[in-house]
Amino acid sequence: MFTLAVMDNDKCISSGIAQYFKDRQINVRVMTNAQARDAVSFAAKSDIVISELSVFGWDVQAITEIFIKLQLVSPATRLIILTDLDESAVINYISSLLPRARILSKRCDIHRLASEVFSCAAQDDSKPLSFNLKPPKDALTAREFRLLRFLASNSSLTDIGHLLDLSVKTVSYHKKNIMRKLNCQTSVELPSRLARMGYGMKKRPNK
C-alpha cells in the first residue's frame, strides 16, 4: 500500500483521479488551497505525487522550484507531472532538473496514468539522485528559463537588464533564443505562450 497525493486545482480532474485510486484501495490525499501554502511539506508525506505543471497560481518556474525542493527533502517521493504544454524546450529543461520525474500529457487517459503510478510504486530508489543531467540542445538554458517570468511582466528589455545586471544586447539575445525555441514567429506571440505556462495567473499562495 502506498500514499498518493494529487496537486491540481481543477476539481473535476483531482476528484476524478482521487476516486479512481480510492476505488483500488489506495490512500489518496488531494491538496487544498490552504495546504498549497506549504506544498513541499504536503507532498513529502506521500509516496507518489501527481501534479499539474502550472497549478494553484504558480507558474512553471515556481512549481519546478517546489518539485526540486521536494526531491531534496524527500528523495524517495516519486513525481508524476501532468501538462498540456507542447513546448518541448521547456519540458526538456524541466526534465533535466527533475531526472526521476515522469512527465505525461494531461490528455492521457486514466489507465495510462494508473500504469505510471503503479510503475512508480514498484521502482527502485536505491540509486543516488543526480541533478547534473545535461538538457538537449533545443531545451531552454537556465538563464532563458529564469528570463521567462521577466518577459511575461511586460517590462522593457532595458528594465529587465537593470534587474538582472545584464546589458540590453544580452537580454535581447536571450529573448530571440527563447522565441526561436518556443517557435514564436513574432514578439506578439510570446505573451500567449507564457500565459499557457502560468505566467500572469492569479497570485500564488503565500508561503
Summarised one tens digit per residue, pLDDT across range 137-167 is 789 999 999 999 999 988 899 999 999 999 9
* Number of domains present in the structure of the chain: 2
Same domain, 184 and 102: no
**Residue 82 resides in a domain:** yes
Q: Which residues contact 196 (CB under 8 A, 6 or more apart)?
A: 54, 84, 85, 87
Does position 46 have pLDDT exceeding 60, yes or no?
yes
Mean pLDDT of the chain: 89
pLDDT of residue 206: 47
Strands of the chain (E only): list them. 3-7, 27-30, 48-52, 78-83, 102-105
Judgement on whether residues 87 and 162 belong to the same structural domain of the protein: no
**pLDDT value at residue 9:** 82
The answer to whether residue 20 sits within a structural domain is yes
User: Per the confidence metrics, is the pTM higher than 0.75?
Assistant: yes
Amino acid at the residue 113: L
Judge whether 132 lies within some domain.
no
Q: Domain boundary residue among 94, 122, 150?
A: 122
Q: What is the mean pLDDT of residues 5-11?
A: 90
Task: Indicate which CATH number applies to the domain containing 168.
Answer: 1.10.10
**Same-domain check for residues 151 and 180:** yes
pLDDT at 128 over 80: no
Is residue 46 located within the same domain as residue 118?
A: yes
Domain housing 167: 142-196
- In this structure, the answer to whether residues 106 and 151 fall within a common structural domain is no
pLDDT at 73: 94
Do 156 and 69 lie in one domain? The reply is: no
- The phi and psi torsions of 106 (rounded to 5 degrees) equal -65, -15
Same domain, 85 and 178: no
Find the Cα–Cα–Cα–Cα dihedral 102, 103, 106, 107, rounded to 10°.
-90
Q: Is the pLDDT of residue 125 over 90?
A: no
Regarding whether 146 and 101 lie in a shared domain, the answer is no
Indicate whether 56 pLDDT > 90.
no
- Looking at the DSSP bridge assignments, the partners of residue 4 are 28, 48
* pLDDT value of position 207: 44
Is 5 in contact with 49 (CB distance < 8 Å)? yes
Strand-pair partners of 48: 4, 78
Return left, alpha or beta for 56; rule: phi > 0 is left, psi -120 to 50 is alpha, else beta: left
Residue 129 domain flag: no
71 and 103 share one domain = yes
Q: Answer yes or no: are the C-beta atoms of 105 and 81 closer than 8 Å.
A: no
